[in-house]
Amino acid sequence: MSYYINLFILVSMMLIFSSCETPVSMKTCARLKDSDAYLPCAARAGDQEAQYQLGLKEYNSGNTKEAIKWLDRAAIVRYASAPIITKNEFNNSTIILSEKTGIVRLGHVGAQILLAEIYQKGLGVKPVPAKAERYLKMNENITMN
């Protein structure tokens, strides 16, 4: 019974973390797997790796404003409360589930580093060293009790 409750809480929290403009599910995106529409769909559904890849694609295309939008979504550390104990790692991001601290999804390290470089060197934006430093330190203050 508690397995299903924990699963429900995990799925609910992941939906909250997605920060989508339009509600999209990964199930919907899976049907687009072999098309150009998959990456934006998965990014809108909250897939952190897709957000990073879309941000990287936009950055390499010279669309810095759109790149920063997606890279920031991938880089952000997200918190929520849920009584679950486990740890799952995939790609360059981590979801940590702890009885005391709740859910912590660490930000995508690649996105954090690229955003730090963008703001440090002023690549397509005005240099803002304080923002660069913030992105570099995002995952540092995560503690598990």
Tens of pLDDT along the chain (145 residues)?
A: 565 565 556 555 554 554 444 456 777 888 888 778 888 988 998 888 999 999 999 999 999 999 999 999 999 877 655 444 344 444 444 555 554 555 566 788 899 999 999 999 999 999 999 999 999 888 675 544 4
Q: Is residue 145 part of a domain?
A: no
Q: Is residue 9 part of a domain?
A: yes
Rounded to whole angstroms, the Cα distance separating 65 from 47 reads: 20
Distance of CA 4 to the CA centre of its chain: 25
- Tell me, what's the pLDDT at 31? 81
Q: Is residue 142 part of a domain?
A: no
Q: Is residue 90 part of a domain?
A: yes
Within 10 angstroms of residue 45's Cβ, the number of other Cβ atoms is 22
Q: Is residue 56 part of a domain?
A: yes
Tally of domains in the chain: 1
Q: Is residue 30 part of a domain?
A: yes
Q: Tell me the residue type at 58.
A: E
Two structure tokens written together for 58: 């936009």
Q: Is residue 45 part of a domain?
A: yes
- Tell me, what's the pLDDT at 2? 60
Domain range for 25 is: 2-136
- Tell me, what's the pLDDT at 7? 53
Q: Is residue 62 part of a domain?
A: yes
Distance of CA 33 to the CA centre of its chain: 20
Q: Model's pTM, two decimal places?
A: 0.66
- Tell me, what's the pLDDT at 33? 80
